[in-house]
Amino acid sequence: MGSSLTRRRTQQTCPALYAAGENGLQEGLREIEAIRDSASDVDVRPGAEGWTDLAHALDLRAGLAVAEATLRGAIERRETRGAHNRTDYPDLDPRSK
């Protein structure tokens, strides 16, 4: 399924998106939304192996939801903490200590 591969590639570029700051994160979110839109009417049919297409479609849907939540959370977090590094916000938020 091409959309799953595209989603994985987009998620794998997330470290670069974080390093690019808010613009990179917004770009990643737009890519995930575009993948979700293109995969909105995936054709699912039973085959000789059963419902493998359905499993792939559900995996794609879940992966897109996780990717979108991760990017939206990263956009809202305006600090660097642990593995979450923002070049545009290199310091901890003192209110969160």
pLDDT digits (tens, 9 = 90+) for 72-96: 988 888 887 777 777 788 887 778 7
3-state secondary structure of 78: coil
DSSP string, 14-32: HHHHHHTHHHHHHHHHHHH
Are the CB atoms for 56 and 39 separated by under 8 Å? no
Domains and CATH numbers, the chain: 2-96 (1.20.58.100)
Q: Taking the model in full, what pTM does it have? A: 0.72
Cβ neighbors of 78 (< 8 A, separation 6 or more) are 86, 89, 93
pLDDT digits (tens, 9 = 90+) for 6-65: 666 666 665 555 566 888 889 889 989 998 998 888 888 887 777 888 888 899 899 999
